[in-house]
Amino acid sequence: MTYSDAYNGLEPQELWRHFDALNHIPRPSGAEAAARAYVQQVAQEFGATSNEDERGNMVVRVPATMGRENAPTVAIQAHLDMVCEKRPDVVHDFATDPIRPQREGDRILASGTTLGADNGIGAAAALALLTQPGLEHGPLELLFTVDEETGLHGAMALDPSLVTSRMLINLDSEDPDELTIGCAGGAGTVLHLPVTFEPTPPGWVGREVVVSGLRGGHSGVQIHEHLANAIKLLMGALLYIQDSGDDFGLAAIHGGSAHNAIPRDAWARLAVGRESLAMLERIIPEVARAMRNQWGDDEPDLALTVREMTTPNEVITRRDFNRLLNLLDDLPHGVINMSQVFPGKVETSTNLAVVETREGQIEIATSSRSFLAEELQKVQNRIASNGRNAGAEVEVRDGYPGWEPVANSRLLQVTDEVYRQIFRKAPQVQVVHAGLECGVIVSKIPGMEAISFGPTIRGAHTPEEHVYISTVASIWRLLVALLATLSAR
């Protein structure tokens, strides 16, 4: 089948056409030039003008339909980049290969990779507003941002003069029953732990301990779910090995792939003495059984395995190995506090995201979020203190602001009315424990009102990402009707 067959017959046809086109274009964070070129091409074909800022954020200006020229301008916003994750057994180069979609009932998913529905569906919907005939709307500014998935960097660098509108509709939410009016702020803390290597003792052999098969998930919206962290599981296995023998050493460790994804896989490369080899091969199945008992049905494919590898020439000294394990054990992961204002919502969390072996050091990246700036600072301070106590250099990376809810904005009131008219029920007005560009954009443009909505997307930031077809059609109906209503008032 061709890649486009998965979208045959789907409505709205223009939206799915643009989504298909975007998923033929590699668009990892920081490499969105080809996707921008596609947007610009579509704009030119349909007589719209476009402008870019120095970072690569783009605005396409769509004229109002006849008779609605005096309506207020509305900005429709989505980001062009996508998280690039794949299953270990899948051969896929995100720098060159198109996404290969599949259709299963009411779902569209990819073939062992992220789908890019986050936020390709939003970008496609924005483009469809330009190319779908017969719509009624006032002047539109289609705002396409870049480099969102690595920390909202495109929005942080947005030139606010690109946007004249004071109403923003963000299309990066993932539940059609919700209207989002606020989000958590976030920031990263990276620890650089110096380590010393020494020659591997004669006669030792190489083994690799691997944690795999975890579900992973979005480190914001799924952080409260019972999802295992591969780095934490690997650390537990290494602590168990450490307690069982002395003649082994760590040569390298790796886990996780992105700050905003709960790690699904991790591995440690070891050199093992003959006396501990039998012990290692005996206890790994025991530890694996204990892990499966702990995580039960929530991680059905969890696996802890040991396999042969070439004996490494060097291993980390035992002292530095112990410092690393203790640090990984001390670092927090998961929910820190639940919100007292929004019942059932996470207030503060942190994700132990990535661990990598680099020349002379182990680098550990964490990503923290909170609705409250002071609580975000507290968890970062805790991580920094853990790092300094272990002898690590601490790097605090620039964060992004939260989006403070405004419950009485005109944009929200009109959206609520339109939602009720279409779906015959009230929407859930919510905040989300994830980073949305609304907070950044609102902070740059005084007087800007904002709202966010989107279709049902599940498994975002993982190879299990999928979007429900019927909800895409529902959100399109809401968007089209909302723009028509705003332009008629």
Active site residues: 81, 148
Question: At which residue do the structure tokens 């030792």 appear?
Answer: 204
Closest CA to 126 of 179, 193, 87, 74: 74
Residue 144: strand pairing partners:
58, 78
In 3D space, the residue among 385, 407, 417 whose CA is nearest the CA of residue 191 turns out to be 385
Among 356, 308, 319, 283, CA closest to 204: 308
* Cα–Cα distance for residue pair 276/254, rounded to 1 Å: 22
CA atoms of 169 and 415, how far apart (whole Å): 10
Instruction: Tell which residue, 238, 236, 151, 220, has the closest CA to residue 187.
Output: 151
* CA dihedral of residues 231, 237, 239, 245 (deg, nearest 10): -150
One-letter amino acid of 194: P
> CA-based angle 14:36:155, to the nearest 5?
105
CA separation for the pair 372, 340 (Å, rounded): 11
- Whether cis (ω within 30° of 0) applies to the bond prior to 23 is no
* Angstrom distance (rounded) from CA 482 to CA 478: 6
Cβ 7 vs Cβ 18: under 8 Å: no
* Strand order through the sheet with 101-104: 101-104, 107-110, 466-468, 457-458
* Residue appearing with tokens 């002395």: 246
Residue with tokens 């890019």: 116
CB atoms within 10 A of CB 426: 11
